[in-house]
Amino acid sequence: MSILTQIQKVKPLVLNLANQVTTQRVADVISFLGASPLMTKEIQEIESLLTIADALVVNIGTISEADGPIFLKACQLANQMNKPIVLDPVAVNVPYRASVVNQLLNAVSFDIIRGNAAEIAWFADKKVVSKGIDALELTVSPENAKIAAKRTGAIIVQTGKTDVVTDGNKVLFVSTDSPLFKVNVGCGDMLSATIGTFVAVSDNLIQSAYEATKFFGEAGVRATEDVQNLPGMFINAFLDEIYQKAREAK
């Protein structure tokens, strides 16, 4: 049975420590895949929610001081409970974010880290040009992703025009040729949540990360054709493609 069919059957609960910009888009993509999203930022309920969750997605996009202890507690509990964690290290090159992520890396293990080329370069201790949430480098090399995977022990999904999925040894590529991904802020957040949904029903980390990334990219390319390259309608067309494609899966 494919991972997508498994998602429809199990309807996993995907718990999100989401950012405040793209929360609805992230909830939508999880729901359209056939799973169940839940968003929280309340430390008092993390344990009970993780008990019933099948995966945790941590997105540091709109981090505040109160978030550090929540992220730490959620990730420690998820590790103890054997629930997979996907980290989206939005703008981790900014010093405050870097310090919080360093604390997390010292205390917990992430199963999958999904970021753009500049964010993944940070995990490899390399500098890549970035501006806020965006990577500005166009060439895509798998080297930083491989180093980041070896250093963190996580599967790395490095996104850009070509996505790279690696465990540090094996390297898989996904080509996503649509400019509308970049215009629509939050496609990276949506991809991280999609990966969280796939890994919620599959123990094979690299396979679920790769299949999620490929599925997401293909749906985006089809949606771009549906809306004739115009960005305003893109997210709706994209979510519809995801909904339909998820249900066509065998």
Q: Taken in order 216, 222, 225, 226, is the CA torsion positive or negative?
A: negative
Question: Which pair of structure tokens corresponds to residue 164?
Answer: 């790279």
Please give the residue whose beta carbon sits closest to Mg ion in the complex.
188
222 annotated as belonging to a binding site for a ligand: no
**CB contact set of 53 (below 8 Å; sequence gap of 6+):** 13, 14, 15, 38, 83
What is the DSSP track for 1-56? --HHHHHHHH--EEEEE--SSSHHHHHHHHHHHT-EEEE---GGGHHHHHHH-SEE
Say which entry of Mg ion, ligand Cc1ncsc1CCO, ligand ATP, none residue 178 contacts (CB below 5 to 8 A, set by partner kind). ligand ATP
Name the one range near Mg ion by CB under 5 A: 75-83, 86-94, 153-161, 230-238.
86-94
What length does the chain have?
250
Closest residue to ligand Cc1ncsc1CCO, based on beta-carbon distance: 61
| 89 within 8 A of 97, measured Cβ to Cβ | yes
Q: Please identify, using beta-carbon distances, which residue of 91 and 201 lies nearer to Mg ion.
A: 91
Footprint of ligand Cc1ncsc1CCO on this chain (CB under 6 A)? 19, 21-22, 61-62, 90, 133, 185-186, 188-189
CB nearer Mg ion, residue 12 or residue 188: 188
Ligand-binding site membership of 114 (annotated): yes
Burial of 213 by CB count in 10 Å (0-12 exposed, 13-18 middle, 19+ buried)? Answer: buried
Residue 19 binds which entry of Mg ion, ligand ATP, ligand Cc1ncsc1CCO, none, with Cβ cut-offs from 5 to 8 Å by kind? ligand Cc1ncsc1CCO
- Selected binder of Mg ion within 142, 188, 196, 217 (CB under 5 A): 188
Residues in the annotated binding site for ATP: 114, 159
Residues in the annotated binding site: 39, 114, 159, 186
